[in-house]
Amino acid sequence: MKITLIGASGFVGTRLIELLKQQGNHTLLNVDKKPKPFLS
């Protein structure tokens, strides 16, 4: 599933990204003013 997260570089967004990555099958796009790198 393709998922676009707006403003996902904050506290909640980074945890949501980790949860979605653990579930697999997702292509994630973080749209933010100052995005932090995704945690591996």
Q: The tokens of 30 are what?
A: 């973080």
Give, as one character, the DSSP assignment of residue 25: S
Domain ranges of the chain: 2-31
Separation in Å, CA 18 to CA 13, 35: 9, 15
pTM of the model as a whole: 0.67
Q: The tokens of 31 are what?
A: 């749209």
pLDDT in 10s for each residue of the chain, 40 residues? 899 998 888 888 889 989 999 998 889 988 888 766 655 5
Torsion angle of C-alpha atoms 26, 15, 35, 20, degrees rounded to 10: 0
Q: Among the residues of 1-40, which ranges form H helices?
A: 11-23
Give, as one character, the DSSP assignment of residue 8: T
Q: Which residue has the tokens 């949860």?
A: 19
